[in-house]
Amino acid sequence: MHHSDYCIAGAGIIGLSLALELHRRGATVTVLERNAPLAEASYAAGGMLASHDPENPAALQPLADLSLSLYPAYLAAIESLSQLHVPFQTYLTLQSHPTSTPADTKSLLPQLNPGSHTFVRLKERSIDPRQLGQALLAAVLSTSIALHPHTPVQSIRSVGDAIEIQTTTSTFSASHFIDCTGAWAAASSNLPSGTVVPRKGQMLAVALPSSLPLDLVIRTPEIYIIPRTQGPNAGHVVIGATVEDKGFDKTVHPIDIAMLQSSAAELLPQLADATILETWAGLRPATSDLLPLLGALPHRPRHLLAAGHYRNGILLAPATAHLMAQLLTNETPAIDVAAFAPARIAGLLST
Ligand code: GLY
C-alpha cells in the first residue's frame, strides 16, 4: 500500500496548487486524478481574477481578496519550479454596473458600443489558465509529489488514524484525504447528490481582428470578452459563457456559440465576423450558496473538501491552497473560514 501524509483527489488547478503548497511545507503528497491532469474546468476557464464581479456572493470577498494578495507569490513559486513564466494577460476590466460612476469608454476603447450598459473601470487582472496549468503541472512534476492520472477514487474509509483510498488499481493510505474534484466531488466523496453540481459553460475563442486592438476585459451579466495578449494564445479573444444545468453533458451547440458571438459583437461590432478558432464547454462546480466548500466533513475530520469554486476557481486557487494547508497543519487560518465550512450545508451534517 502507498502511504503519504496527504492524498488529494483531483489534479485540476485546486488540487495541484494544494499539493504544491503541502509539499513546500515538507509533507509527502499523492494526487489521484480520474482523467488527465487539468483536463476539465481548469482548462475551460476564462481566467479573469474577478474579485469584484458584482455577481459574486458578498461572502466570497475576504477569500477573493486573500487570493489576490497571494497571487504574485503563488506565480513566483510556480515559475521558479517550472522555469515557465506565467504573465498577467490584462490589467483592466470594463464591468457593466448600472449604479456606479461611468468610465470614459470612448477614450479607453472607442470601438466599444455600450448600448444600454454603463461601464465602470475595475483594476482587475486576468491570466491564461492553460498557460498557468502547463506551468503548474511542470512545477508539480519537478517535485516528489506522486501524481497518478487515470486513477479514479472508488471508495474512502477511515482505518484507525488513517484514511484508506481504494482506486481501480491500488489502495492508498494517508493521514488526510482532500477532495478537489470540482463538479465530481459529490460522487468521489460519496456526498448527497446536490452538494456540488456541474453547471455547464459553453465558450469560444476568436482571432482578434487587426482593427480591434484589445488589451482589457469587458464583462456584462450576459457575456465576457477576454483578450489573450501574451504567450501561446496571444491574439485570441475568449468569449463566454452560457450557464446551464445539463448534468455532465459538455456538448457544444453551434446555435449557442453563435448567440455568444453575436452578444459580444453587440458590444464590439468587429467581433461579428471574427474567425472562430475553438469552441468548448466546461463544468463549473456549483454549491447551493455558490460558495466553495473548504474544510473537513462534519463527522470525518480526516476527510476534507476543497471544491465548489463555481466561477472563480482560477482566482481562488492560491487562497484555497493556503487555507487548506493551514487547516491541515492546525494553524490559525488567515481569514475566518466559517462561511466556507462544509458543515454549513445541511445535507452534509448526516454524512
Ligand atoms: N469564470 C467564468 C465563467 O464561469 O464563465
Say if CB 41 and CB 182 are below 8 A apart. Answer: yes
Do the domains 91-124+198-285 and 1-76+128-196+287-351 match in fold? no
Q: What is the pLDDT of residue 18?
A: 98
Distance spanning both ends of the chain, measured CA to CA: 27
Which residue has a Cα nearest atom 1 of ligand 1?
Answer: 311
- Ligand 1 binding pocket includes 240 (Cβ within 6 Å): yes
Give the number of the atom of ligand 1 that is nearest the alpha carbon of residue 203.
5
Q: What is the pLDDT of residue 351?
A: 66
- Ligand 1 binding pocket includes 148 (Cβ within 6 Å): no
| Cβ-proximal residues to 110 (8 Å cutoff; 6+ apart), any chain | none
Distance 25 CA to ligand 1 centre (A): 31
Give me the CATH code for the 1-76+128-196+287-351 domain, please: 3.50.50.60
Spans of all domains in the chain: 1-76+128-196+287-351, 91-124+198-285
Q: What is the pLDDT of residue 119?
A: 94
Distance 182 CA to ligand 1 centre (A): 14
Mutate to test the pocket of ligand 1, among 55, 226, 284 (most ligand atoms within 8 A of CB): 284
Give the number of the atom of ligand 1 that is nearest the alpha carbon of residue 241.
5
Quick check: helix, strand or coil at residue 106?
helix
The gap from C-alpha 235 to its chain's centroid, in whole angstroms, comes to: 23
Q: What is the pLDDT of residue 350?
A: 73
Say if CB 155 and CB 38 are below 8 A apart. Answer: no
Distance 243 CA to ligand 1 centre (A): 9
- Ligand 1 binding pocket includes 284 (Cβ within 6 Å): yes
Mutate to test the pocket of ligand 1, among 203, 311, 315, 316 (most ligand atoms within 8 A of CB): 311
Cα separations (Å) of 159 from 30, 146, 162, 178, 346? 18, 22, 5, 16, 26
- Ligand 1 binding pocket includes 241 (Cβ within 6 Å): yes
Query: Helices H, strands E: what count in the chain?
Result: 8, 17
Q: What is the pLDDT of residue 183?
A: 97
- Ligand 1 binding pocket includes 201 (Cβ within 6 Å): yes
- Ligand 1 binding pocket includes 45 (Cβ within 6 Å): yes
What ranges in 83-167 are assigned the alpha helix state H?
A: 105-108, 129-141
Q: What is the pLDDT of residue 108?
A: 87
- Using CB atoms within 10 Å of the CB of residue 212, give its burial: 0 to 12 exposed, 13 to 18 middle, 19+ buried: middle
pLDDT in tens, the chain (351 residues): 789 999 999 999 999 999 999 999 999 999 999 999 999 999 999 999 999 999 999 999 999 999 999 999 999 999 999 999 999 999 999 999 887 677 788 888 999 999 989 999 999 999 999 999 999 999 999 999 999 999 999 999 999 999 999 998 899 999 999 999 999 999 999 999 899 999 999 999 999 999 999 999 999 999 999 999 999 999 999 999 999 999 999 999 999 999 999 999 999 999 999 999 999 999 999 999 999 999 999 989 999 999 999 999 999 999 999 999 999 999 999 999 999 999 998 778 776
Could you report the per-residue pLDDT of 199-216, keeping only the tens digit for each? 999 999 999 999 999 999
Q: May I ask the CATH architecture of the domain 91-124+198-285?
A: 2-Layer Sandwich (3.30)
